[in-house]
Structure formats: structure tokens, C-alpha cells
């Protein structure tokens, strides 16, 4: 399973990605988790099983959700508190809950 996180430049989510990988490792889940720039959404929708977007780009929600819906890829906005505290467990649960 591939989980893709999108943010403004793909950099602010890097710590969150690492925490999510740690959480997945503890659960022995076979997942690939990556962070990318929101500008890469079209390319990422080709291979992602689920997409989560950073709360700082929620203003692009309509555009992004429309593209994801067309590609039949589940998408959601990362819960603000989980994002701010880089709670890898909670964000991983959010991603898994979309599938």
C-alpha cells in the first residue's frame, strides 16, 4: 500500500512521514509512505492508494479532491492537531481508515 502526503513543497511533512513509518513498522504493516509537493498530485495519483494533504494547503481542497475522485483515490486533509504534533500513529490510522 502506498500512502502519499502532499504539502506546499513536500518538505514540511518529512518528519511526519518518518513517524508514520515508525508506527507502521511497530504494527508490521507493509506500507510505502512518501511526501511530495502538492504540484505533483497528478503524478502521485497514478500510484498512490491514499492521499493525505497538509492542513496548510486546505485552501486547494476542492481542486485536489476533484482530481482524486476522478482517479478513484481516497483523499483527506490531515487532522490539524495530529499534523502539528507529528502524531504518526494518528495520521497512519487516518490513512488506513480511508481505504
Cα–Cα distance between 30 and 9 in angstroms, integer? Answer: 26
If 0-12 CB within 10 Å is exposed, 13-18 middle and 19+ buried, where does residue 2 land?
middle
Q: Would you say 29 and 61 are in contact if contact means Cβ atoms under 8 Å apart?
A: no
Q: Would you say 66 and 42 are in contact if contact means Cβ atoms under 8 Å apart?
A: no
If 0-12 CB within 10 Å is exposed, 13-18 middle and 19+ buried, where does residue 11 land?
exposed
Question: 7, 33, 38, 50: which one is catalytic?
Answer: 7
Is residue 7 among the annotated active site residues?
A: yes
Catalytic amino acids?
A: 7
Amino acid at each position: 500500500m502506498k500512502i502519499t502526503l502532499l504539502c506546499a513543497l513536500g518538505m514540511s511533512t518529512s518528519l511526519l512521514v518518518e513517524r508514520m513509518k515508525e508506527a507502521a513498522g511497530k504494527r508490521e504493516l507493509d506500507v510505502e509512505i512518501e511526501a511530495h509537493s502538492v504540484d505533483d498530485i497528478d503524478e502521485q495519483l497514478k500510484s498512490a492508494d491514499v492521499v493525505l494533504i497538509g492542513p496548510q494547503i486546505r485552501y486547494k481542497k476542492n481542486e485536489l479532491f476533484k482530481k482524486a475522485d476522478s482517479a478513484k483515490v481516497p483523499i483527506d486533509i490531515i487532522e490539524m492537531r495530529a499534523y502539528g504534533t507529528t502524531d504518526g500513529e494518528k495520521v497512519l490510522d487516518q490513512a488506513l481508515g480511508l481505504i
